Structure 1
């Protein structure tokens, strides 16, 4: 399926209009449809007014209750999948201010109990030392000092024992030398230190034998409710359960190929030593 940015913005309203139209064509009131679907009438109303985006399972239940023909079922389910996907372009984030993006991420982290990070390219801000954070923002426009401060403030969430974090990093992510060697050693030492927190699980995937599939994009899974996938020009937010399940499957494959616990710490310490040679 090809996602066009303009589709992602309009599809929620289109889905609401389509569901309302199909119900009326079937000659059903919202209350009668709700009873057929074992839903509340207020839930049907929110779906039809666009105040709430239904999941694919919700849409399937509604369409089957309406006896929708197969071609309508396929068309509306495609629309529903697009409606559960959001495109956030990087330039819009820049215009709004990078520190606002940090506030959004802090909210996501505060509202989540289990967060999984797949990091094929570089170390994420939650794990980074100040020098590394500043170096990672050199491509960003304007004054980055507030963004650096907000990223460092967000790191406090790592010490919330009610949450569980899993970070999977490829060797490329750990060893990409975006700061001088001495700072790289400190950065990798920080990874080792954080891996000892009882609610933080950190794994590394060394270069070598082929992994189960090529590491393509950075992505983060927040509980089982959404996934954010990043590329050079922005990020896609998936809320549809099948997309979330697919990313969980990818994550699990790399987790099985990763070094974890003491094995990961031993490998990280060896990499850190390579940056201490000239100290």
Structure 2
């Protein structure tokens, strides 16, 4: 399937029309279909009007109830997967204001319980010192103080014991010198402190040894319902359960190569010392 960002919004209305047409051609009412699929009639109506984007499992149930298979089913399932994908480009986010993006992330974090962060090239704002946060948005025009404040405010969620966080960083992400040496040393010391929070599991994948994996992107998985994948120009928001599970499986593989606990803190201390020596 070719992914065209400009088609993602249109795919939702296309799916709604296709689902409505399929039911009518089968000569069935919304009430009949809802009963066969163990859904409410309101849900069926919202799917067919485009007010609700159905999950893959919803469409599979509807296809089975209407005895639709072959190319028709394949096309509808492909359309459903596209409809469950959202593209957020960096330019649009910056035009709206990155402080608003922080509000969106805060709402998503409030609604989620289990978080998995794979950080390929940088330290995420949830783990960053104020200096690192400021450096990470240095190229953003306008007043940056509101963005910095909101990023730091979001860090309080790490203390919410009802939620669990697992952060996997590559050694490259940890040691990339975004700040001068002393600032980087302080950032690494801060990571060591965060690693002691009971509901936070922080690991670093070292660059020595043999790692037969080839990660391509930074990504985050929220529970089992949503994954975000960052690219150089934006982020994909994936809601298809197959996509989410694929990233959970990737995360589990990468986790096997990471240092945790005392081993992690020793590595962070060693790298922090190297940064401190650079300053001398």
* TM-score of the superposed pair, with normalisation by structure 1: 0.98
1:131-156, CA deviations, whole angstroms, 9 ceiling, x for partnerless residues?
A: 11111112222222211111111111
CA distance in 2, matches of 1:70, 1:140: 49
RMSD: 1.0
| Distance (whole Å) between structure 1 residues aligned to residue 69 and residue 187 of structure 2 | 58
Partners of 2:69 and 2:108 lie apart in 1 by 39
Residue number in structure 2 paired with 1:64: 64
**What is the 5 A alignment of 1:21-100?**
21-100=21-100
**Which deviates more from structure 2 when the two are superposed, residues 32-41 or residues 18-27?**
32-41
Aligned residues: 279
TM-fit CA distance, 1:35 = 1.6
* 8 Å Cα contact 1:212/1:253 also seen in 2: no
Any idea what the Cα deviations from partners look like across 1:149-203, whole Å, max 9, x if unmatched? 1111111111111111100000000000010000100000000000000000000
C-alpha deviations, 1:112-136, integer Å up to 9, x for none? 1111100010100010011111111
Length-normalised TM-score, structure 2: 0.97
Shift of 1:93: 0.4
SS of 2:132's equivalent in the other structure is helix
1:148 paired with 2:127, answer: no
Query: How many angstroms does 1:38 deviate by?
Result: 2.0
Cα distance, 1:18 vs structure 2: 0.4
CA distance in 1, matches of 2:146, 2:69: 54
Segments of 5+ residues of structure 2 without an aligned counterpart are none
Structure 1 residue 241: deviation in Å?
0.3
- Unpaired runs of 5+ residues, structure 1, are none
User: 5 Å matches for 1:220-239?
Assistant: 220-239=220-239
Report the Cα distance in structure 2 between the residues aligned to 1:218 and 1:104, rounded to whole angstroms: 19
Which SS does the other structure have where 2:211 is aligned? coil
1:241 aligns with 2:241: yes
Q: CA deviation at 1:215?
A: 2.2
